Amino acid sequence: MGNKLYDSTARKKKETKKRGRKKRPFPVTGKTITAIVFLAALYAMLFGMVKKQNEIGDAFRKSYKEAEGNTFDKTAAGIASAETAINKSVVGKRKLIDIFGLFQVVLGRKEVEAGSKENYVYKMDNGQLTFAYPAFDVTQAVAQLKGLKTACDAQGTQLLYVQWPFKIDKYNNLLPHGKTDYANQNADRLLAGLKENQVAALDYREVLHERYGSGEAYSSLFFNTDHHWKTETAFEAYTDLLDYLNKNYGYGYDPRITDRDNFVFEHVEQCFTGSQANRTGKFYGGVDDFTYIYPAFETDYVWEKYGKTLKKLLKREGSFNETLFFEAVKEEPDIAKPYRDNCYFNGNPALVKITNNQVEKGRILFVCDSYSKPVVSFLSLAVHHLEFMDLRDFTKIRLVDYIEDQGFDMVIVAYNVSATKRSTKDFFRFGADPEG
């Protein structure tokens, strides 16, 4: 009896409790749904950070150790580095940047921040992304190149300045809302200064303009999503450069190495998000096709990569595709990836030395930035010893000393003129540096 009574009371309590629960169901409101999604996102991000704790911790410890000052200063330095590592470790960062780009489309933005308050990526009227450059004084750069010529003349070394084309056509400004870019004007002033000082120069902008005009054909020479030219254009520039060297410097070469039929043009569609789309997201910038170009004939190379302190980092021996071409970059062709253009040199090295064992003549130093990587790669087919040097990485050595030490037949300089803005005591130390 007692038990029955207890059971009935307990049941009633249970039912009341159940009824009570039924009366107050979980409130499915917009706010509660938001809160659940918000919490899920927060903890997913936290989980991502926990997975990267070693990198974040290392960043803190490294900066703490290296920082000068008292404990507070060291801690502040450590925190700053850890925060940078945290920012890099956000779960789904790539997707978030794509969403960022999509939102810029919604906002109708034609310029998008590219990493810092000063750097912007612009969407041109033809839909291509580009950087724009301010006007600046090129006097110092001209003086530095003149000094370099004097030093090269003393060594019996030829000097050639090459002005590669900009994505923004000199004759057709496609920047949004009438924005002005000064890269071409800067280059014009630099070339005029070089001419005045009898420094040999090739203005490749004019070669392309003559061949392609200023419309769509010109635009198609460049990636939509990257500041570089397409590898096909670089190949064309390589053949033109060799032709120019032959005509002007008597640099003979085997014509088979410029014949397109002797090369593999491996075209992959929609696989490349260039460095500009990488900054703005693929929904803003789109995706590019990419063509891997490499020789179909036998080659024999020694390829060495050096760091900023001239320390040898890597040595490869074998064919073109086993040395300066990095096959791994071609992996996952169905996925749009940045840095496909790293198939040549696998990054932007400070110094690369290429020895082509099948060619006996030629020692050329190419002082340039990443824009010239594919050209230098192809040019190595015609030169016994070719070096690629990005002077921006070297602040301690003087170029003239290096040329004197190594001895070259020819030095080719090919920079985006904006880089020469840095032609101070730390950059382009060609020999005209008063402190030099």
Give me the residues that bind another protein (CB under 8 A), please: 27-35, 37-39, 41-43, 45-46, 48-49, 72, 75-76, 79, 83, 86-87, 90-91, 93, 96-97, 99-100, 103, 106-111, 113, 115, 117, 176-180
Q: State in angstroms the smallest separation of the CB of 203 from another protein.
A: 28
Distances (CA, A) of 196 to 190, 233, 386, 423: 10, 30, 29, 19
Our CB check for another protein shows the closer of 133 and 161 to be 133
Contact 388, 373 (CB under 8 A): yes
DSSP codes joined into one string, 218-254: HHTTB-SSSSSBPHHHHHHHHHHHHHHHHHHH-----
**CA pair distance 93, 101, nearest whole angstrom:** 12
Beta strand 263-272 with 288-295: parallel, antiparallel or unpaired?
antiparallel
Q: State in angstroms the smallest separation of the CB of 202 from another protein.
A: 34
Our CB check for another protein shows the closer of 99 and 200 to be 99
Our CB check for another protein shows the closer of 125 and 196 to be 125
**Which position has the token pair 């397109």?**
260
**CA pair distance 382, 102, nearest whole angstrom:** 45
Our CB check for another protein shows the closer of 37 and 310 to be 37
372-374-380-383 Cα dihedral, nearest 10 degrees: -40
Q: Which helix (H) or strand (E) holds 355?
A: strand 351-356
Q: State in angstroms the smallest separation of the CB of 37 from another protein.
A: 5
Our CB check for another protein shows the closer of 109 and 384 to be 109
Alpha helices of 113-270 — where are they, by DSSP H?
139-155, 183-196, 204-212, 216-219, 231-249
Contact 138, 147 (CB under 8 A): no
What strand order describes the sheet that includes 158-163? 201-203, 158-163, 410-414, 363-368, 385-389, 351-356, 301-306, 312-318
For the chain, the residue count is: 436
Our CB check for another protein shows the closer of 28 and 328 to be 28
Our CB check for another protein shows the closer of 3 and 72 to be 72
Our CB check for another protein shows the closer of 114 and 302 to be 114
Q: State in angstroms the smallest separation of the CB of 65 from another protein.
A: 17
Q: State in angstroms the smallest separation of the CB of 323 from another protein.
A: 37
Q: State in angstroms the smallest separation of the CB of 421 from another protein.
A: 20
Q: State in angstroms the smallest separation of the CB of 236 from another protein.
A: 35
Which residues have CB under 8 Å from 92's CB, separation 6+? Answer: none
Contact 231, 195 (CB under 8 A): no
Please count the other Cβ atoms lying within 10 Å of the Cβ belonging to residue 419: 17
Our CB check for another protein shows the closer of 46 and 264 to be 46
Q: State in angstroms the smallest separation of the CB of 131 from another protein.
A: 16
Q: State in angstroms the smallest separation of the CB of 45 from another protein.
A: 4
